[in-house]
Amino acid sequence: MFHFFQIICAPFIRFFFPTKFVNKKKIPKGACIIASNHTSNMDAINLAVHTWEKKYYLAKKQLFKNKVVGFFARKWGGIPIDRETNDINAIKTSLKVLKNGKKLVIFPEGTRLNNENMQMGEVKQGVAMFAIKARVPIVPMFIAKKPKVWQRNRVVVGDAFELDAFYGKKLTSDEMDEATKIVAQKMEELRQQTLMSLTKKK
């Protein structure tokens, strides 16, 4: 059913929200975490219609309160998570997705941000935690600006990397902070590269 909706929706989404995806081939086969900045609810939909493989997304539980919205969110791979608590069910579901060889998309800032030059907010520990527990690569992704109707946008996929230095360890709080800083650094590097390339095109 996902691919049916994907085929039906793709032409409309691409027409109204023209987006160029750069370096899609850098997304590896098999399980990985795609870590992206978050600009709007269109982010997950845009990724879904520009790449064929179904991906799974951590999304705030409030999105699923509306039955219609919740139905489609789940069909598109949405995993509800309670951001206010240590949501064990969401954690188990996400790890199961990765262990089954699927792709998990996380917006590690935890909220939508649309500020000048798309400055990154604080990167939470979720990406590092899932990547270390499931032993999967992380693929940074950067969305140049908030999607708007008939406004061209650019999404850039960065090089995959692993936190393999942390695999198999009982991690301390300091080590988790260190791993999270690596994720934040990789995402910030991609942000700067993307904005620099856009500046050169002007």
pLDDT in tens, 143-197: 998 889 999 999 999 999 999 999 998 899 999 999 999 999 999 999 999 988 8
pLDDT tens digits, 59-82: 888 889 888 888 888 888 999 998
Specify if 103 maps to a domain.
Answer: yes
pLDDT tens digits, 84-98: 788 899 999 999 999
Specify if 15 maps to a domain.
Answer: no
Specify if 14 maps to a domain.
Answer: no
**Residue 176 sits in a domain of what CATH number?**
3.40.1130.10
Specify if 18 maps to a domain.
Answer: no
Specify if 13 maps to a domain.
Answer: no
Position 134 scores a pLDDT of 97
Specify if 63 maps to a domain.
Answer: yes
Query: Average of pLDDT values for 113-121?
Result: 71
Pairwise CA distance, residues 180 & 176, whole Å: 6
Specify if 134 maps to a domain.
Answer: yes
Position 41 scores a pLDDT of 84
**Domain range spanning residue 100?**
23-201
Residue matched to tokens 């946008």: 153
pLDDT tens digits, 13-59: 999 999 999 999 999 999 999 999 998 888 989 999 999 999 999 98
Could you give the C-alpha distances from 76 to 73, 166, 167, 198, in angstroms and in order? 5, 32, 30, 30
Task: Work out the pLDDT band at 202, boundaries 50, 70, 90.
Answer: low
Decide: helix, strand or coil at residue 138. strand
Query: Average of pLDDT values for 112-127?
Result: 79
Exposure of 179 by Cβ count < 10 A (0-12 exposed, 13-18 middle, 19+ buried)?
buried
Position 117 scores a pLDDT of 63
pLDDT tens digits, 127-151: 999 999 999 999 999 999 888 999 9
The residue type found at 85 is T
Specify if 47 maps to a domain.
Answer: yes
Number of structural domains, the chain? Answer: 1
Structure tokens, 26:
């850098």
- Given a cut of 90, is residue 106 above it in pLDDT? yes
